[in-house]
Homo-oligomer: A and B are copies of this chain.
Amino acid sequence: MPFIEQASEAIRETGGRFTQQRRLIVELLEGAEGHLDAERLYQLAHARDETVSLATVYRTLNVLEGAGLIDQRYLSHSHERKVYEPVGASEHYHFTCTGCGRVIEFETQRVQRLKEALEVGLGVRVEHACLCLEGLCYACRTQQEGR
């Protein structure tokens, strides 16, 4: 099912309303190449529809997250701001280059395996795992190494 319909249904199921502002925000999230933070999402939405406010962006993001449709992530070590992306099928994580700002996505089973190891070893149930990786990408690394 397309993401917009998923969102529309999920919101309506809980008695919520699929307003034009919410529709626009959902469309932008779906179409985004990269990872949007609230401010950027607001800029994009506001450019298309002046009636969208930053408060509505935040409220909509929280609604969508509550419905399990998007994930919050932190990309930087300092975690200044959250970015949001549709929940996908693949377990993927992010590496952010502190040199050029590029975000590299990668898939790995290692986090999943770590979770399983902890559930067995510590007897816990892991509900959230956040992994933020930072450093230099290949281009920035070789450039810094002076060649």
List the interface of chain A (C-beta within 8 A of B).
72, 74, 77-79, 95, 97-98, 104, 106, 108, 110-111, 113-115, 117-118, 121-138, 141
Q: Are the CB atoms of A124 and B136 closer together than 8 Å? A: yes
Measured between alpha carbons, how far is A127 from B104 in the docked complex, in Å? Answer: 14
Residues of chain B within 8 A (CB-CB) of A125 are 135-136, 141
Q: Are the CB atoms of A137 and B110 closer together than 8 Å? A: no
- Which of B79, B126, B131, B138 is in CB contact (< 8 Å) with A122? B138
Q: Distance (Å) between the CB of A55 and the closest chain B CB?
A: 19
Considering the complex of A and B, which 10 residue pairs feature the smallest CB-CB distances, nearest first?
Answer: A123-B138, A127-B135, A130-B132, A77-B128, A128-B134, A126-B135, A125-B136, A110-B114, A125-B135, A125-B141
Q: Are the CB atoms of B118 and A106 closer together than 8 Å? A: yes
Measured between alpha carbons, how far is A114 from B82 in the docked complex, in Å? Answer: 23
Of the listed residues A118, A122, A125, the one surrounded by the most CB atoms of chain B closer than 10 A to its CB is: A125
What are 10 contact pairs spanning A and B, CB under 8 A? A72-B78, A77-B128, A77-B130, A95-B122, A106-B121, A106-B122, A108-B117, A124-B137, A126-B134, A129-B134
